[in-house]
Amino acid sequence: MATKSTRHLVAPELDGVIDVFPPMDHTQGMDVLRGGFANREAPPLPPELAAISCVERFIPGAPGDPDVRVLHYTPPGKAAAPRPAVLEIHGGGYVLGTADMSDAANRAIARSLDCVVVAVDYRLAPETPWPGSLHDNYAALCWLAGNAGELGVDPARIALFGGSAGGGHAAALALHARNQGGPALCFQLIDYPMLDDRTCVDAEPHPYAGEFVWTPELNHFGWKSLLGTDPGGDGVHETAAPARASDLSGLPPAYISIGALDLFLDESLEYTRRLARAGVPVELHVIPGAFHGSGLLQDAPQSKLASDLRMQALARALGTG
């Protein structure tokens, strides 16, 4: 991290969100850390989003694991043909968040793309280290694909979508599904993804990235919580830290978006490069002046741009655009 503040590099339209972002102090315990997000009151849904059906379901987990809670979103009306589907995996540094935190966004995806959305409430670290969350996410994917007919879903058009830790989870799930010969995926949208535990021990960290919101200290805490050991060491599996995968071939087409001041910038750029060299179609966008979590300010032009690019990419991948 830079020795001097990088605030002068923040886009002016995003600057104000730095001071109002919920504080994240992991030294005060998990309840305090999570409470800053869990206690945020969501604004009322507009009628068009409230019209999207949301059903809470509990689906079978992996053998020996508990059931997995998911939120199942369906647009109103009867579809003329099976709809595409998006499996959404929430962010939160591997240690916080719930499926509910993306409720409005998931409703908007379902409405705009006329698709089914399933949001996974995977188990969090440190209480459940890897591979617990991977098992939960894979169980949700298998349930979605295995019940496609009942859910009105086209099994050939299932995409993954996740941001931050959710982006890391989505990338890991794509690898796991490939390795297991599991359900086919048409797309992976991994937004500002948390991909590489070795960023925590980088001898030459990016001098202009990671000052705001998700800092190197929090990154170390998140990765240690997930791995159950200090990050950056030997023996970390690729489905814990996808950047460690030796072979990225055969993965679904990918979309990556990252802020220029995000701590995950370098690992996102490197993952994009390696995907391309493995023959995986990949689209990359670097948002100038944006930092991790700056999309919280939804009306900023940078946030609107990132949102529009995501929706356009999903629409193309699902065949709805």
Which residues does the annotation mark as catalytic?
A: 164, 262, 292
**Cα–Cα distance measured from residue 142 to residue 36, given in angstroms and rounded to the nearest whole number:** 33
Q: Hunting for tokens 């968040």 — which residue is that?
A: 97
Neighbours of 230 (CB within 10 A): 12
**Cα–Cα distance measured from residue 98 to residue 96, given in angstroms and rounded to the nearest whole number:** 7
Residues in a beta bridge with 258: 286
Q: Measuring CA to CA, which residue among 187, 218, 210 is closest to residue 259?
A: 210
